[in-house]
Amino acid sequence: MLNGLTALEALLTNDSNTELSYRLSLRVANLLGSEDAALREIVRRVILSVMALATSSELTQIRLEDLLDQLVFDETKRREVQRLASKFLHIGTPLQFVQ
């Protein structure tokens, strides 16, 4: 469980908030208990989404942290990023999620 959260932290945060991320990871892991299948699926989807975004010529000039922050306030950009990320999400999909 903690390894999955650490992977998400490494993919989605920068060094400036490492302590906060670490504490959050520990707390969430303790709350979720031993059920890690859903977390593994989330980590898989995040990794594939980041890979898809890294291959997009439209988004490679934007740092991932900055892009993720922009998505909070820009619905159009969020949909575009989700569209780009979805091109990798079919790879080895064990669970189907409704969007």
Question: Which range, 26-30, 34-38, 75-79, 81-85, is most confident?
Answer: 75-79
Q: Is 7 contained in some domain?
A: yes
| Model confidence pLDDT, tens digit, residues 49-68 | 888 888 877 666 778 888 88
What secondary structure does DSSP assign to the chain, as a single string? -HHHHHHHHHHH--GGGHHHHHHHHHHHHHHHTT--HHHHHHHHHHHHHHHHHHT-TTTTTS-HHHHHHHHTT-HHHHHHHHHHHHHHHTTT--S----
Task: Using the predicted structure, report yes or no on whether residue 10 has a pLDDT greater than 50.
Answer: yes
**How many domains are there within the chain?**
1
Share of the chain above pLDDT 70, in %: 72
Q: Is pLDDT of 94 > 70?
A: no
By C-alpha distance, which of 94, 78, 10 is closest to 45?
Answer: 94
Q: For residue 82, give both structure tokens.
A: 């989700």
Q: What range defines the domain where residue 68 resides?
A: 2-89
Task: Summarize the confidence of residues 42-52 as an average pLDDT.
Answer: 84
Give the integer Cα–Cα distance in Å for 2 and 27.
10
Query: Which residues fall within 8 angstroms of residue 80, CB to CB, at 6 or more apart?
Result: none
State yes or no: pLDDT of 18 exceeds 80.
Answer: no
Place of tokens 């569209």: 83
- Whether residue 99 lies inside any domain: the answer is no
In a domain, 97, yes or no: no
Q: Is residue 42 in a domain?
A: yes
Give domain status of residue 96, yes or no.
no
pTM of the predicted protein model: 0.59
